[in-house]
Amino acid sequence: MGVLDDKVAIVTGSARGIGRATAELLSEHGAKLIINDLDADLAAQAASEIAGETAVYGGDLTKAGAPEALIQTAIDAWGKIDIIVNNAGYTIDAPVHKMSDEAYQRMLDIHTIVPFRVVRAAAPHLREPAKQEREAGVEVFRKIVNVSSISGTMGNAGQANYASGKSAVVGLTKTLAKEWGQFKINVNAVAFGWIETRLTASKDASNTMEIEGETVQLGIPDQMRTMAPMLIPIGRPGTPEEAAGGVFFLCSPWSNFVHGQVLNITGGQLTGMMS
């Protein structure tokens, strides 16, 4: 028997990387999963490979109506939503003086606007059942986990756009926690440090993704990658599975009294500036 048996979870950007590891872990513990990715075929493939019950919504969540369609996919499949993990995202790096308006806006769109639209679309399916449970004197906890980054909490050179979007996620999380705590909806965030994904892999010609027909370069220079032992007290970057562990905790019953928090999953990474 799993701790998430009969729970319905949406994990955006869940066909690969941290999202995939999170979906697999939630499924392992009994959750039914909505798998989402920009690449609909890849999302379908991932869903077929993950044990347990899955449904698929493939497509670009920045498009009009897409967050609503994502939520409706869960409702059509299982009639409810218990967990939302807003994980989808990517990077477009450049120093401020070379950054285009489009590159800045894209990061705000995927990292801030999409999570806002997803939770807004989900609101009736989270709040209304909670009101009925409250009237009946029953506590049922639901979970929202928004993915931020230490780029958003500490800043990171070359990522003004990404850092701005991820910083805004923290504000969204804390505000939503104040609004929805009364409905037993735990709203928290995770701030990832250096996790081994395609966003932190070597920056070369093979590490790209396609967005609306445009090739976006991912990864970081190898010179930066060699610095991990000096920057991270644990001595190495984290794995997607280790990153997923923190998300799982915030989706689990053990986090029922954890609310409005940002969990740093960094291996103790030392870079950045904090007040």
Q: Tell me which residue of 57, 84, 82 sits closest to 5, measured CA to CA.
A: 82
pLDDT at 227: 62
For residue 202, what pLDDT band results from cuts at 50, 70 and 90?
Answer: very low
Query: Which of the four CATH numbers 3.30.565.10, 3.40.50.720, 2.140.10.10, 3.40.50.10860 does domain 8-201+241-264 have?
Result: 3.40.50.720
Residues 242, 149, 200, 113: is their CA dihedral positive or negative? Answer: positive
User: In the chain, what are the domain boundaries?
Assistant: 8-201+241-264
To the nearest 5 percent, what fractions of the chain are helix, strand and coil? 45, 20, 35
pLDDT digits (tens, 9 = 90+) for 19-58: 999 999 999 999 999 999 999 999 999 999 999 999 999 9
Min mean pLDDT across 5-19, 47-61, 177-191, 198-212 is at 198-212
Note the pLDDT tens digit of each residue in 66-116. 999 999 999 999 999 999 999 999 999 999 999 999 999 999 999 999 999
Global pTM reads 0.90
In this prediction, residues 169-183 reach a mean pLDDT of 98
Mean predicted lDDT score pLDDT of the chain? 91
- 42, 41, 35: which is closest to 57 by C-alpha? 35
Please name which of 25, 29, 23 lies closest in space to residue 10, comparing C-alpha atoms: 23
Q: Which residues are catalytic?
A: 162
